[in-house]
Structure 1
């Protein structure tokens, strides 16, 4: 399709504008001799810096139980749906009960028989006791007493057998001991299972809330304690605990410390701690690898934006500051990161003008002119003048 005249004129104009720019760029590299480079600068200030640490962790169910039969039998019914929540006491499996019903009836009959025998023995003993010395010998009385004691013991034994038969019959109904989510059954209807077998029928897991276990260096915990004691670290109103999921997503619920850990591993030198998180949406599953960030408090420090720094080949971190129309390269020491910035402990001071923009090909000692800039909410460097003008225009 032929271009319109207006489009052709626009294309020609863009070409004409591009050619001088290209020639200028090739003729005078930025920061070269005789070239004054315009750079964007921001004044460094001291601010409250969060002191935090990130630790690897594993999700652990608050409650998890393996379901095993306590009596032998054939599975007649699987009464739950895998993945659907069950309450404590809900029926999971039912075994064939015929054998245990018969055993219960037999135990009841045995108890009745034992009670009848006891009644006879009691009557015989009472009779010999009345006739002792006049119509019954001492040996007859002792024999009656022994028979009575044996009858009483038989009744107690029959009562215990009856109680066991009742328990066995109740145990053909296998119920959940906790509220949670049951897994798929390992056995199917018709399978023969035995009492206290090694293989579980299924597993029930409570997913909400959920624990996350982490390991922390004992040396790091000591350093944090020293900062608190020295007054260099101000504790927050409460411990700020954030969680990052396996996919990099920051979890929307904060955690609480439930077990701070009081022993140090002799093999790893670490302390195991446990945090609890709300998991009502079941986004976290036991066994998942997670990252826990704990903010212990805040300290005063200088934040240097990471975009203003360069990592040299020897590993040192450098940046440029503007002073008296000249760019000076400085080497930075830092203690950590916060808000996409380095927490700098040496190399710059409060009031220094850090160079954020115009760093391409910038050399130490290069002549510069400075423009005040800032970093907006999305991380883009903007001229402060332009930002103020836009704000005024919006107000008008």
Structure 2
């Protein structure tokens, strides 16, 4: 019992001494550890330049022309001359309606015209005879009767000609032809079906897609801002005769090679969406754009002088204002807020809050806090938004000869 009382204080003393030595060693190791180097970040040197001011709008493709093809005469469809979904030229045969009855009506009209024409010479000769006998006892009544007979014969000829022309038109209308160049839809009728003149159901639909319309929708609020900027002289617009630069991006993200032009703009705001409809026109020689296709259009509306912030280097705060991080002269990180910004291609264009030579952080800013020390590395941004490091300056000197 006495031995245990003696050993217990000794063991506690040894344990405390061991802990003291370990703490001291850890403190010495921490004091001797090297400081963490500043994080490298890519920075873009800012410079004020004149940049195009753009707006990006979504829209849908619409056919340049569209026609529901209907027969103008009735009958049985005898032939479908086109392949569904094919391209046709103006005047190409689409459908052939059986024309037997129309040919018979044409022949009957021809005979009626010939019969009417035969009576005209006899009526003319009879009138001339009464004119010669006017002073030899022929009555005025006989003369007027002969004159009326001639006029009736001439009217019968004119009527027969009109009937013949109608019969000829009806016979020609049995061939349903394309009114313009375009692509055909699926046919709604087959060979043997009976159709009637100007029926409700169309035979097919023909659409012209070269050129093609792109209908865009712009917010009325944005239009008011644009008009205000022009009125205040902040926005340099193009000449009135200059072609508006409109470029498209297709559904798969690829750029459409053709440049479009403004065709018309609705002079009224939709009461349901608050937007203004803008129609643009694009050449479509390879038929890449089809009616109903969704596209995004970038329209250059003017120019403005300012600083461009790539979209990859920007963010938004809780109020929706544009934010970006910069490196100060002491290589410290600071966040700047821009209450006014506009779109310029793939960048944001701002006019204040930046000076020439300021360094904008391009990447990694999401994980860097303000006042953190960083190692800025100059870089550029290509047209697609990728960061391209600038080559380090060559500090080597050529050996002297």
C-alpha spacing 1:218/1:308, structure 2 compared with 1 (3 Å): closer
| 2: CA distance, partners of 1:311 / 1:171 | 65
Alignment of 1:323-342 (within 5 A): 323=328, 324-338=330-344, 340-342=346-348
Q: 2:392 aligns with which of 374, 388, 391?
A: 388
**Which moves more between the two structures, 71-80 or 132-141?**
132-141
- Once residues 202 and 362 of structure 2 are traced to their aligned partners in structure 1, the CA distance between those partners, rounded to angstroms, is 62
2:287 pairs with 1:282: yes
Instruction: Deviation per CA, 1:274-313: give whole Å up to 9, x if none.
Output: 2221211111112323222101232221223444444445
Instruction: Judge conservation of contact 2:310–2:385 (CA < 8 Å) in 1.
Output: no
CA contact (8 A) 1:68 1:200 kept: yes
Matches within 5 A, 1:186-197: 186-197=188-199
1:264 equivalent in alignment to 2:264: no
CA separation of 1:116 and 1:325: change in aligned 2, threshold 3 A: closer
- The reply to whether residue 354 of structure 1 matches residue 360 of structure 2 is yes
Q: Deviations over 1:327-354 (max 9, x none)?
A: 3333333413445543234444333333
Alpha-carbon offset, residue 136 of structure 1: 3.1
Counterparts of 1:174 and 1:227 in 2: how far apart (Å)? 54
| CA distance 1:383–1:141, shift in 2 (3 Å) | closer
Q: Deviations over 1:190-219 (max 9, x none)?
A: 111111222221222222111112233455
- Describe the superposition over 1:310-335 as per-residue Cα deviations: whole angstroms up to 9, x where unpaired: 44455454443333353333333341
Secondary structure class of the residue paired with 1:195 = coil
1:62 to 2:68 alignment: no
Residue 226 (structure 1) shift:
4.3
Residue number among 224, 239, 244 corresponding to 1:239 in the alignment:
244
Q: 1:81-122, CA deviations, whole angstroms, 9 ceiling, x for partnerless residues?
A: 223322221111111111111111111111121122223333
Conserved 8 A contact 1:181-1:205: yes
Runs of 5+ in structure 2 lacking a partner? Answer: 1-29, 397-401
Q: How much has 1:53 moved relative to structure 2?
A: 0.8
Q: 1:35 to 1:319 in 2, by over 3 A?
A: farther
Instruction: Give aligned pairs, total.
Output: 356
Contact 1:39 1:356 in 2 (8 A): no
Matches within 5 A, 1:211-250: 211-228=213-230, 230-235=232-237, 238-250=243-255
Question: TM-score, normalization: structure 2?
Answer: 0.77
Equivalent position SS for 2:189 = coil
Q: In the alignment, is residue 79 of structure 1 matched against residue 66 of structure 2?
A: no
CA–CA separation in structure 2 for the residues paired with 1:360 and 1:221: 34
- Give the C-alpha shift of residue 162 in structure 1: 1.1
In the superposition, relative to structure 1, how do residues 216 and 94 fare at CA in structure 2: closer, same or farther (>3 Å)? same
Larger displacement relative to structure 2 (147-156 or 218-227):
218-227
Larger radius of gyration: 2
* Residues 28-85 of structure 1: per-residue CA shift (max 9 Å, x gap): xxxxxx9773342443222333211122222222222222222111111111222332
Q: Distance in 2 between matches of 1:369 and 1:247?
A: 39
Q: What is the deviation of 1:379?
A: 5.1
Write the distance in 2 (CA, Å) between the matches of 1:307 and 1:351.
20
TM-score normalized by structure 1? 0.78
8 Å CA contact retained: 2:262, 2:279: yes
Runs of 5+ unmatched residues, structure 1: 1-26, 28-33
1:176 corresponds to: 178
Quickly say closer, same or farther: Cα 1:363–1:220, change in 2 above 3 A. closer
Equivalence for 1:20: none
Query: 1:150–1:307: structure 2 CA closer, same or farther, 3 Å change rule?
Result: closer
Indicate conservation of the 8 Å contact 2:103/2:171, yes or no. yes
Q: Is the 1:371–1:383 contact (alpha carbons within 8 Å) kept by the matching residues of 2?
A: no
What root-mean-square deviation, in Å, do the aligned CA atoms of Structure 1 and Structure 2 show?
3.1
* Among candidates 354, 378, 381, match of residue 373 of structure 1: 378
